[in-house]
Amino acid sequence: MRMFSLAVAAAAVTVAGPALAALAVGAKAPAFTTKASLAGKPFDFSLAEALKKGPVVLYFFPAAFTPGCTVEANAFADATDDFEKMGATVIGMSNDPIEKLNEFSVKECRNKFAVGVANEKLIEEYDVPLPLRPSRSNRTSYVIAPDGKIIFVHSEMAPKGHITGTFAAVKKWHAEHGAKTKGAD
């Protein structure tokens, strides 16, 4: 019984504590293409293509329709217009089937931003496995500059801080680079 109690306590600390992302600020973000959904419609999402438009807010979450992931998706949906004003693309990533993400993109992302399939390889490349369930990701948010370098990382299982942190990083990037990129097309 004591071993079971210790295992439960260790699991609680793992889930409640911060998740650790190994990709540091300044690292090159791994390139990828994946199935994604926006407003319930699947499409192929390419990080390289999105970076041509500006910075990318790439956030990993454990599973669609779970309480924390729903709160986070709703908050990103509320902030998406502000991110877009600074040229940033928001995309959430989870190891859920595309059919589930189609529904999540409508109901919880409110048709505002895309959610994509993060397979186990992508979860490993971004070093965001969920402890005890490595086929799922933890909750980690990255801001990736158009040059492909990570300029912000926030890794914490609670949704709090992900939107404010990524927004502050995008705002800072935009203040330093935004005027140079406006009308560059």
Known catalytic residues are 69
Neighbours of 154 (CB within 10 A): 22
Helical H segments across 17-161, by residue range = 47-51, 67-85, 98-107, 120-125
Tokens of 18: 């911060």
Question: What is the rounded distance in angstroms from the CA atom of residue 112 to the CA atom of residue 94?
Answer: 17
Tokens of 143: 């801001």
Beta bridge mates, 56: 89, 144
Question: What is the rounded distance in angstroms from the CA atom of residue 30 to the CA atom of residue 80?
Answer: 23
